[in-house]
Structure 1
Amino acid sequence: MLIGIPKEIKNQEERVGATPSMVASLISAGHEVIVEHKAGTGSGFTDADYTAVGAQIGSADEAWQAEMVIKVKEPLEAEYHYFRPGMIIYTYLHLAADPQLTAAMLEKGVMGVAYETMVGRNGGLPLLAPMSEIAGRMSVQVGTHFLEEPHGGKGRLLAGTTGVARGKVTVIGAGTVGFNAAKIAVGLGAQVTILDINASRLEYIDNLFDGKVQTLMSTPHNIAAAVEKADLAIGAVLIPGAKAPTLVTTETIDKMEDGSVIVDVPIDQGGIFETTTHATTHDDPVYVSHGVIHYTVANIPGAVPKTATEALTSATTGPALKIANLGIAAAAKSDHEIATGVNTYDGNLTSRAVADSLKLTYTPLDDLIG
């Protein structure tokens, strides 16, 4: 199979879909790989690094003409003209929050395999987990930055100091993002509250942090009370493939102290705060609404591309090899993880969560591949 690795064109996105090590694995399996010129530069990989393992270096047009395109972020509108029937796009898609992209992929018959919906044997999300870990940790890092007065914040140090109360961090969602956010916030010395609908997960968090984190069931009342008091509120809720639920109302945001900060990690799935109206970029990462600073960058891990690319490709290489070796239909038949990642197939929407979110027709993948 001919596999293309185009350069990401999303604002300040310096990750790349494949490292030289991943490319070497694909070539060793008998495949051809064409990497767009300077696609890996932002992650620390030169064109020479790719040619050393047998890859070809070409233009964006050449990379996109491949049978399978491996990316990091969803294709942008400027890339839709590359779509054609039968091509495989293997990347984060987040279709539930992007009806325009969904429509374009369905119209052109693109086989879309989404990292974020691939479910592993243990029920986890193995291709989402590495970026969720990074995003969770960075959510506190960027939150503390924008709490500083020179950056528009209230001037609160989360760690406090002798005789001064520590800052309050509220994390909504106790999955990979939320756990890692709490981990960093606790390490900084903040007062941390984490909410989730899963009592067992909260028990696990409580035991792991030895009581250093306040755990609460995620009810509208508890969410409102915890967010109103927070210096930093972090959205960390994900429903695989589906649009994120709106859990925090404008009324609640209005009661937060001016200069507080919100980091809405699942903004690429729509966000969970009613006031997170749009995604921002690393060039212009925040806006103020109701006196509260909103950080809604859709590709948070893109700020640390060296770490993020290596973490991501360690998880994406195995499925990529299987898809390339067997083809998308046979790979999906033989591997449940890959099957759960197939969101679009030959003009059909094969993710129930995406179909429900966008109110479109759902077709089970099994009906299409037998």
Structure 2
Amino acid sequence: MDFILNEEQMLLRDMAARFAADARARQEKTPEEPGRRWSRFAELGLLGLTLGEAHGGLGGGGVETMIVAEEMGRQLLTEPFVPAVAMVSPLIGELGSKDHHEQILPRLAAGEVLVVPAFLEPEARYDLAQVATIARADGDQVRITGRKAVVLNAPQADLLLVSTRSAGATGAMEGISLYLVPCQAPGVSLRAITTLDGRPAAEVNFDAVAVAATSRLGSAGTALPAIERAVDRGIAALAGEAVGAMAALLDLTAEYLRTRKQFGAPIGKFQALQHKLVDMRVALELARSVAAAAAMAVDIPDAELRRRFISAAKVQVTRSGRLIGQAAIQLHGAMGMTEEYGAGRYLKRLVVIGALYGDFAHHLERFAATAEPAGLPN
């Protein structure tokens, strides 16, 4: 597969790399409010990356999203770029009404409002059709009752994009609808948690939460295919983020082997450790290749082909992340386990990415269930 960035994409990569490095340096020097960092994303146009120009965006696709996510992973940034920009913005653009487009999308691009997805439920594992959160009509309103698990960045969000069941039994493919729910609406309660890698998240309960019927995105009961596309976009972006984290961890490890001395010589001179480093490099390049394929696949209309490439990426990125993370800790020795040193933080990020939106076993099974395609279009 021919994958070469064009001039605009290279400029985006350079800008994102400078911005992410500066954001991390600022955070380590003087921690600042998350809202201020998010505003700088907006100032550079990154929050409108996946929106059309008519809505104040840049019209980027999967490749552009991957480019930015990779630089965020390299610097261990925790901003909600993947849930908000890679997943929610295109979903509102696809299913939203004219009012949604006019009232919400420009504000998303400007960083004035944060919307994150709330799709997964405690008993659902990774099955997006396992929706037990109920939406019942009540006059010109809808009342939502249910619970969502591990909603990333929910404590910072203004609105949640919630999958609900308006018809059918739990697990049915039909009958799923999407609603925009204000986080401050009566009946919404959050139990804040922090993920292993330091991302803010929450378990969210909805107790007969009243929202306007016009807050629904798209037609009633038909949202599941769009939700699946949004989650696949998120997985592709996370694959890019993982590649950035793996590349930074490999660089960190290589530098340590060059400077750490034992028996009067840098330990990187020892052939056994060089072999380990080569294994890490091979794993990184495998992950980079499948992440690029996934980024290209998110925008193709063939759902089965998209699922195959996305799941292949998740499987390989999880495998590579585990190999690189564990080898880095081993090569660093006890230093790699300290909180102050970066190696452990990168490993935590890779572990979390491996679990988000489907773990290794889930995506291996999904990959095996799809038909083998002829390949991606050029």
Give TM-score scaled by structure 1 length: 0.28
Using structure 2 for the length normalisation, give the TM-score: 0.28
Higher relative CO (Cα under 8 Å, sequence separation at least 6) belongs to 1
Q: Which has the higher helix share?
A: 2
